[in-house]
């Protein structure tokens, strides 16, 4: 449940808050989350300063002054929280990973289920298979309609499967997708090869509208931002997602939850036909 709006917001906040800070120490509670040992991790980042923070798809990349990069994936969700020792916002009780800066601030990460913090240098950053093939996100400037449309050339997957594939579009997960498809009038299993130009345009617009709308409200209300504040995009803002058995806001038909491959989908059987 940390998709593009949440991750994007986090990376913006982290970039503003952490840039320039010097790493003092670091704690790895769960070594399985990392690609290197705690010892190696510490020795490679100690005394380095944060050069900047950005996102790539659902990943957060913390670049350091010495060329190292911390790659953070929240997996299925979790809390990535800022703290100030000896201030009101203390370190969260449980966490798997923690960084503390010289000024006694820092951040800790608690994964909900699976998460990762990898350390890679500039060269490894380019080759790291977990992130190298992640596509542009709808928040990127280059994500124009022409670009979006061209992604589909020659493809045959179902539209939901296609959009969730991070090699096609970065940042979309199984939460915002329901409303994006509903607003486009598309069934999750509709083959991309069967979409009309009209449908592609509607899809592009819905995609941007839903994600920007959530971002504008501070992202999802059940996730916390860097400072521990919940977002303002509540379940009331969902159009049909997770609204099983409720009436469709357009046609009053009853919303259904169906199995699409290995994920669940919420659809209006009247508005989204195959």
Partner DNA sequence: TAATCTAACAACGA
Partner DNA sequence: CTCGTTGTTAGATT
Positions that interact with DNA (CB under 7 A): 1-3, 30, 32-33, 57-58, 73, 75-77, 111-116, 129-130, 155-158, 161-162, 164, 166, 173-175, 189, 260-264
Closer residue to DNA, CB minimum distance, 114 or 145: 114
Q: How far is the CB of 88 from DNA (least distance, A)?
A: 28
Least distance between DNA and beta carbon 86 (Å): 31
What is the distance in angstroms between the CA of the first residue and the CA of the last residue of the chain?
27
How far apart (Å, rounded) are the C-alpha atoms in residues 159 and 167? 14
Nearer to DNA, 106 or 173 (CB): 173
Element (H, E) at 23: strand 23-28
CB of 43 to DNA, least distance (A): 23
Q: How far is the CB of 58 from DNA (least distance, A)?
A: 4
Residue 200: which residues within 8 A CB-CB, separation 6 or more?
148, 149, 152
User: Tokens 């593009």 label which residue?
Assistant: 4
Q: How far is the CB of 258 from DNA (least distance, A)?
A: 11
Specify the residue, 48 or 130, whose C-beta has the smaller distance to DNA: 130
- Residue pair 99/136 in contact by the 8 Å Cβ criterion: no
Task: Say how many C-beta atoms besides its own lie within 10 A of residue 14's C-beta.
Answer: 23
Question: Which CB, 105 or 206, lies closer to DNA?
Answer: 206
Give the Å distances, CA to CA, from 151 to 50, 63, 103: 35, 29, 46
Asked whether 193 and 155 are in contact (CB, 8 A), the reply is yes
Residue 6 or 68 with smaller CB distance to DNA: 6
């Amino acid at each position: 449940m940390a998709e593009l709006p949440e991750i994007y917001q986090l990376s913006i906040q982290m970039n503003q808050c952490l840039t320039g800070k010097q790493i003092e120490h670091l704690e790895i509670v769960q070594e399985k989350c990392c690609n290197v040992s705690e010892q190696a991790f510490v020795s490679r980042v100690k005394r380095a300063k944060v050069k900047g923070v950005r996102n790539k798809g659902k990943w957060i990349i913390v670049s350091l002054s010495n060329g190292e990069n911390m790659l953070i994936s929240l997996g299925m969700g979790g809390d990535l929280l800022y703290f100030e020792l000896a201030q009101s916002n203390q370190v969260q009780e449980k966490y798997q990973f923690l960084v503390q800066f010289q000024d006694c601030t820092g951040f800790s990460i608690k994964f909900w289920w699976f998460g990762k913090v990898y350390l890679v240098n500039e060269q490894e950053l380019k080759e790291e298979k977990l992130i190298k093939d992640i596509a542009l996100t709808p928040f990127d400037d280059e994500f124009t309609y022409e670009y979006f449309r061209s992604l589909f050339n020659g493809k045959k997957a179902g539209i939901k499967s296609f959009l969730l594939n991070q090699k096609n579009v970065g940042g979309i997960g199984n939460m915002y997708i329901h409303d994006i498809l509903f607003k486009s009038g598309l069934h999750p299993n509709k083959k991309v090869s069967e979409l009309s130009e009209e449908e592609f345009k509607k899809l592009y617009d819905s995609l941007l509208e839903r994600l920007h709308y959530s971002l504008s409200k501070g992202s999802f209300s059940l996730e916390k931002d860097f400072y521990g504040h919940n977002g303002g995009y509540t379940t009331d803002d969902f159009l049909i997602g997770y609204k099983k058995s409720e009436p469709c806001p357009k046609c009053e038909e009853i919303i259904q939850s169906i199995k699409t491959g290995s994920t669940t989908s919420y659809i209006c059987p009247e508005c989204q036909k195959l």
